[in-house]
Structure 1
Amino acid sequence: MLIVEDLLLLLLDDETGTPAKAGTLPYALGGAVLVELAMLGRIDVEGAGSVLSGPKVVAVGDGPLPDPLLQEAYDEVTRKPRTVQTLLLAIGGDLWKTVTDRLVERGELRRESKRVLGLFRTTQLPSAGTGHEARLRAAIRGALVDGTEPDTRTAAIIALLSGSGALPELRPQLAWSGEVYRRAKELEKGHWGASAVGTAVARTTAAIAAAGAAASAAVITTVTT
């Protein structure tokens, strides 16, 4: 499972398949792919950039990547150095259907067609209950509620969820408190502790989460004004 698949699985309501923070979903999914590329040592960030757009992302390394979705995203990065926020939308804009199809194929989601009011047909994507999502949630709960040190992958997922503003909206709901919020924000900022694979990955993830948070705020402001 890629990080982007885990992230979408967490964002989807287990009963209906409706995503939390649907309006900012492309930024979250694009960010998850960039984080995976960072963990594979295939991208880095340069400079500080602006608060809104973030630093520039550059491709590093060579050779084929282990998944066509990652390869396509990496090829997008190689076209030219661009800011994080620009790449979030370029990579994540059309990912919803691709990642959903992959989760259905993996048996993590079911695709169900239903009629509303006996007239309109709608498609829902409930969880298939394989246990994978439950393990993800347990790891997140351990880091945020119990205070255990997360591994790199869990820290990255929490950082992305926190940056997108989706953590308090997950269904089923995570036990939410001021302390949970504080711990999530620390991970969002790249403070991962000794478990991280390296400061470069944490730094890149923090830049991606920050750009995603700025983009999410901009989307919400546009919608409400």
Structure 2
Amino acid sequence: MLIAEDLLLLVFDDVEGKPVPGVQNVEYSLAGALLIELAMLGRVDVTTEADEGTAGRLVVRDESPTGRDVLDDALAKLSTKEGRKAKDAIGPLSGKGLSDRLLAGLADRGILRREEGRILKLFPVTRWPAEDSRAEERTRAELDRVLVHGEDPGERTGALIALLTGMGVVKRVVESDDAQLVERRAKEIAEGNWAGEAMRKAVEEMTAAVMVAVFVPTIVTTATT
């Protein structure tokens, strides 16, 4: 499972097959999840003082295929963004086509079910209810272990928590009698050193870029409504 796929399963209602109420900026978050995953795989990085040029810029370290088409396509796009800040890559990687592609992939593997319908018998709509919830249940159990019971997260779980925190949906996807404690724990993890030393700087930079990309549209939307 990709981090982006885990994120989708968490923020989509299993019965309704659409994002749970209050979820915003899904596309930006999915793009960020791809970016972070590629960093964890050693494909992309941010430059340091040891590299030529300006530090803190996006660089592709390894162009070899990952074995997942959605990641390979993202990697190809990122190769045209080298030398830019990580946050500048979020927009080009996002878009409705990204979530649709990930959802369709989950349906092809029997995790979700594609249901076509119409709103008011006029407007076509696709729903993605759960077909096999085992993958999502494992992810929720891991989040519960970390956020409710206070255990340390692995790198992938840390990345997922950082993304959920940036979206502001932690308490919507993690059940607890103390939602404030869970949110505080999630924020600490999102801001902490959950990545391994070798990739910590890159993942921290990219997570920060995702937070900016997700947070700014939320401010704009709130201010104009």
TM surpasses 0.5: yes
Q: Does 1:45 align with 2:46?
A: yes
Distance 1:212 1:174 in 2: 25
Distance 1:117 1:76, change over 3 A: closer
Taking structure 1 as the reference length, the TM-score comes to 0.84
Write the letter of the residue equivalent to 1:45: V
CA deviations 1:84-118 (Å, max 9, x no partner) are 22211211223111101101111111112345556
Output aligned runs, 1:167-186, within 5 Å: 167-170=170-173, 173-175=174-176, 176-186=178-188
Output aligned runs, 1:1-225, within 5 Å: 1-20=1-20, 22-46=23-47, 55-79=56-80, 80-93=82-95, 94-116=97-119, 122-170=125-173, 173-175=174-176, 176-192=178-194, 196=195, 198-225=196-223
The offset of 1:181, in angstroms, is: 1.7
Write the letter of the residue equivalent to 1:135: R
Distance 1:125 1:163 in 2: 24
**Identity across aligned pairs (percent)?**
37
Q: Give the secondary structure class of the aligned counterpart of 1:134.
A: helix
The offset of 1:19, in angstroms, is: 2.0
Distance 1:201 1:190 in 2: 14
Q: Give the secondary structure class of the aligned counterpart of 1:199.
A: coil
Match of 1:52 in 2: none
Structure 1 segments unaligned to the other structure (5+ residues): 48-54
Distance 1:70 1:200, change over 3 A: same
The structure where strand makes up a greater share of residues is 1
CA deviations 1:125-168 (Å, max 9, x no partner) are 11113311001000011100001122222122111111222222
The offset of 1:37, in angstroms, is: 0.7
- With 179-188 and 206-215 compared, the bigger mean Cα shift is at 206-215
Write the letter of the residue equivalent to 1:66: G
